[in-house]
A = this chain, B = another copy of it.
Amino acid sequence: MKKRILAGVILALISSQVAAKSWMLTDADTSTEKGDWQINSSQLKLGNEPFSIQQKVLHGGKQEGSKVITLTSKNGLTIMLSPTRGMDLLRVTGHGVRLGWDSPVNEVVNPAYMNLESRNGLGWLEGFNEMMVRCGFEWTGHPVTKDGVIYTLHGKAGNTPASKVEVIVDDKAPHEIRIRGLLKEHTFKKANLETWTELRYVPGSDSFTIHDVLTNKADYPHDYQIIYHSNFGTPILEENARFIAPLASVSPFNDYAKKGLDHWATYGAPTKDFDEMVFNLKPKADSNGKTVAAVINSKGDKGASIEFDTHQLPLLTMWKNTDTLKQGYVTGIEPGTNYAYPVTIEKEQGRVKQLQAGESTEFTLTYSLLKDAAAVSKVEQRVKDIQGNESIKVDEKPIAVE
């Protein structure tokens, strides 16, 4: 009997696999690169919710050769991601709202022109402008030099060109779209980590899901770290915009952030000399370990939320960078396995996770564009429900000194 059920499941899986169209845009194994490419729902005769998916090879400056995939849903979101930059999300728009921000770095920098080691390990800042950049997986956090090795800011995944890029569209309504990319962190004797990143989107909807599977392909255990560095500027971020999340505790990242602890969850207008404050958060979750964090505008009719699983991503960093518009007025909501301290400190304090030989782990995050007061209220209610009666513990002392 058990066998029959299993067979049924397998058949269902196979048919679910088969019942989709797929396009391999990039494949290092077969040396495939489609370059400029596009499909749309009319061509595919998938009519209800019009969408298109386009890949474009960029030119000019340090973005020469960078690729961008744009998924456009007429009634939903437009999502841009870059296979050349670790399948990072560049920006998402819909209903007059933009998820993302305006960085002084205004090109999609090809990693060929990056030197992560420069600026004493801050080279990453020469390419940073994403709405969501994967900070990992070999390491993450602020740079540190140990035994002569520079553990550069936020690791290498975000500056790794994808070895495989695949677009999949379900044959069946609602025609879910998946854009998958394979990131390799391969170094003889040092690392053999592979991450299949996946963006899942149903045309017409206001949410999308990131589903990443990280595998340690080596025969030895390997540490890993990941922070999903998700960044929001105008129009959501503004004076009196608020950060909300159900939390067990909050503490300032350093002494400078301590000064902002009183109003840590409320944002100021663009402020000269504000620079950045970072807060370490311990999320509370529902009984399944699920939680949500969001930034919502002053009136409470626009926002962005991220649902994630605290079993996968137990920690949350809130990055408040409400300096002037030109400097990059932005806040980061950053679910992660870690805080943003250097890997040496994270290791010392016991927060660095490990994968055994051959082991995989996954990360699932659902991002929603909150387009109106109703959408915002729903998230606020969910935060309240998870928070319950327990108040947020405020720790005045940073847990570490860099």
Interface residues of A (CB under 8 A from B): 26-29, 31-33, 56-65, 103-107, 110-113, 115-122, 125-126, 128-129, 145, 147-150, 152, 160-164, 182, 184, 186-192, 217-220, 272, 323-328
Contacts and interface: CB of A to CB of B under 8 A. Distances in A.
The quantity of this chain's copies bound in the complex is: 3
A192 B31 contact: no
A145 B150 CA distance: 14
Contacts of A272: 219
27 contacts: A28-B58, A31-B58, A31-B63, A33-B60, A33-B64, A60-B163, A61-B160, A64-B161, A103-B188, A104-B186, A104-B188, A104-B191, A104-B217, A104-B218, A105-B186, A107-B186, A110-B112, A111-B113, A113-B161, A115-B117, A118-B152, A120-B149, A126-B186, A126-B187, A189-B328, A218-B326, A219-B325
A207 B107 CA distance: 35
Given A26-B59, A32-B60, A219-B327, 13 more contacts: A28-B60, A31-B58, A31-B59, A32-B59, A33-B60, A60-B164, A62-B161, A104-B188, A104-B217, A104-B218, A105-B186, A106-B186, A126-B186
A67 to B, nearest CB: 10
Most chain B beta-carbon contacts within 10 A, residue among A104, A105, A118, A121: A104
Nearest to A68: B31
B122 A190 contact: yes
A126 to B, nearest CB: 5
B324 A219 contact: yes
A165 to B, nearest CB: 8
A187 B28 contact: no
Nearest to A129: B188
Contacts of A162: 60-61
A218 B327 contact: yes
Nearest to A152: B118
A115 B115 CA distance: 8
Given A31-B56, A112-B113, A327-B219, A188 B105 contact: yes
A107 B163 contact: yes
